[in-house]
Structure 1
């Protein structure tokens, strides 16, 4: 099982939990399992079967876009961070 760090904007869907343990062999399976556990999460971070442009996912600090994107393999005890970009001005 991997540990998923939940960003503040998604905590309303996870009963304000800051992290949750989720199973999955790759990122897309993990997202599906996270959404099964906390409905609505997938809609917030994905669109048309890909990550929304303002969402980054990291596995142990590595951006999945530079590995194998949503097919990136996940191992037990990996730390997954979902990071929505924040615009400022």
Structure 2
């Protein structure tokens, strides 16, 4: 099953830095996490259920291109990284 790894900033919402939620695609994995950790959903998603702009999601070192399409198939050994996006000028 895929592993989801969280940056330390998420420790206020999660008791661990990595989890292995059930799911065949990214959407199923995220919603499995939201059921266990409801406060995480409000931090990761906006009111339209899009991944917030201040959140970056990577699957096997590839940045998620869409903030709305999470129907990305996952393999058992996939690594998902969720972190706070940095911005600046």
- What's the Cα RMSD here? 2.0
Matches within 5 A, 1:15-26: 15=15, 17-26=16-25
SS in 1 for 2:20: strand
SS in 2 for 1:51: coil
* Regions of 4+ moved over 3 Å: none
- 2:28 alignment partner in structure 1: 29
What is the count of residue pairs matched by the alignment?
Answer: 87
Distance 1:87 1:63, change over 3 A: closer
More helix by share: 1
Given that residues 64 and 72 in structure 1 are in contact (C-alpha distance below 8 angstroms), is that contact kept between their aligned partners in structure 2?
Answer: no
- 1:72 alignment partner in structure 2: 72
Alpha-carbon distance in structure 2 between the residues aligned to 1:73 and 1:65: 14
- Name the TM-score, length of structure 2 as normaliser: 0.83
- Name the TM-score, length of structure 1 as normaliser: 0.83
- 1:54 alignment partner in structure 2: 54
More strand by share: 1
Unmatched 5+ stretches in structure 2: none
Alpha-carbon distance in structure 1 between the residues aligned to 2:72 and 2:58: 10
